[in-house]
Structure 1
Amino acid sequence: MAAEIITKEDLEIFGQKLLTEIKALLGKSSDEPKKWLKSYQVKNLLKISPNTLHKLRQDGTLTPSKIGGILYYSYDEIMSVLNGHSNKK
């Protein structure tokens, strides 16, 4: 097994490349919205209170899926409701 010597310059170059890649990954923003949103994201998107979101759930306007105690809302369903297509039963 041959030994390789790493110099300070090698480490600095590696560090710069690593920072550049991390910045690129963090800077990427998806143009496509998430398919499922949590309650706080829905409240921020619609600019509504927790009570209003609760009422939308109760009257059947929005039907969340519950996974592990967390409610998830379909982005497509939210957009459908905003466009006037009611999901009420």
Structure 2
Amino acid sequence: MNKFRLGPLWWFVILGSIIALIVLSTGPVRGGGYLLAAVLAIAGLGRMALPESVVGALVIRSRAVDGAAFLLLALLVGVIFSIVKLTPLAG
């Protein structure tokens, strides 16, 4: 039986996502969204380029499918945060 390993890239994604959510909730919303998109894009590129020993638990399907899924998610998150209306509500 193989030991289940999370891998350094998995930890990067988790910690980067937590930092992005902290920035989203305490600082500029758009900046936090772009940070989350960057973390997802790095995860996608890492999944396609790095060996499975580094990627760890991010291995679900083939390299191409996992990488494309992360990159598509990064693109969608970036587009959503670029078009979301961030004006304050009128009181």
Larger strand proportion of the pair: 1
TM-score, length-scaled by structure 2: 0.29
TM-score, length-scaled by structure 1: 0.30
Larger Rg: 1
Larger helix proportion of the pair: 2
Higher relative contact order (CA 8 A, sep 6+): 2
